[in-house]
Copies of this chain bind each other. A is one copy, B any other.
C-alpha cells in the first residue's frame, strides 16, 4: 500500500504524577514508532488526571504555554522517531486565559500548528467551561509528512459541523483525543448506550465525510468510588465506510495500530459522492441557534 499511513493511538491511565505520565507517554510513542506508526496521537490532557471533575483554581497551575516544555520534548521525540505526534495540552495563553489545545508536531520535529477545542462541555464532573475558553482557531487541517490530518477534541465529537469543516479543509484523517467515562451510578443502566452513541457519532463523521476517524480515550478510574469517573477507553479507528478497523478494550492500556489507505478513501468517495451533492445554497441557517417558528406553540415569541 504505497499510499497508506500507519497510525498509533496511545490509550493509557494517568496518575497525579505529571512527570510519570509524561514519561509513560514518551515511552509509548517510542513503542508505537517501533511498530511502524507514522502518526501517533495521545489522549486528551494526557499529562494529568482529568482535573475538570471539580472547579479548583489551583488546577490552572497544570497549564503551560505552547510552545513550552511539553511541546519541546515532544518535538524532540517526533524528530527522533520521525513520527507525527498529536498532543492534547492544557494551554496557558495569557494570565486568566486558558484553552484545551491540541498541538501537532511534524516528523521533522517542528511544531506544525495548534487547534484549540471549539466546543466546550459543561456537565456534572465535566466542568470544562470553568477551565477552557472556547477555541478561536476555527477548524483546521495540517499537512504533515505522512497525511493531511485534522484534530478535534472530545466534545467536538458530537458536532457534525466540526468534522465537516475539518474535512472541507482537506483532512483525510480526523483525530479525536478524548477523556470520556462512565458515572458509576449511570453505568449499569445507560453505559452501553452511552458508549455506543459515542462511537457511532464518530463513525458517522467518517461516512459523511469519506475520511478515516481515530479516537483515543483514556482508561482507569479517577476520583472517589461512587462519584468519580471510569474512563471507558475503547479507542478505535474507523475507515471511510464507517467500519471499525481496530478497537481497544474498555479497561487496559493499549497501543492501537491501524493502516489508513488513502486510495480506499478516494474509492469510497467516488461511490458515495456526498461532497458533490451538498446543498451549500441553503445551509446558511446552520449559523443560527434555533429557527423559531410562529406555528410552534412551544417556541412562540422566542
Interface residues of A (CB under 8 A from B): 118-121, 123, 134, 138-139, 141, 143, 148, 155, 158-162, 164-165, 168-170, 193, 196-197, 200-201, 203-204, 207-208, 241-243, 271-275, 277-293, 295-299
On whether the beta carbons of A285 and B201 are closer than 8 Å, the reply is no
On whether the beta carbons of B193 and A201 are closer than 8 Å, the reply is no
On whether the beta carbons of A279 and B160 are closer than 8 Å, the reply is no
On whether the beta carbons of A278 and B161 are closer than 8 Å, the reply is yes
| Closest 10 A/B residue pairs (Cβ) | A204-B204, A160-B160, A197-B242, A170-B296, A168-B291, A197-B207, A280-B287, A283-B287, A169-B291, A118-B279
14 more contacts with CB within 8 A, not counting A141-B296, A159-B278, A204-B208, are A119-B279, A120-B277, A159-B279, A160-B204, A161-B286, A165-B282, A165-B291, A170-B291, A193-B241, A193-B243, A196-B243, A197-B242, A201-B204, A204-B204
Copies in the complex: 2
On whether the beta carbons of A284 and B287 are closer than 8 Å, the reply is yes
On whether the beta carbons of A242 and B274 are closer than 8 Å, the reply is no
Known: A118-B279, A161-B279, A193-B241. A296 touches B168 (CB 8 A): no
C-alpha gap A120/B121 in the complex (Å): 35
On whether the beta carbons of B197 and A200 are closer than 8 Å, the reply is no
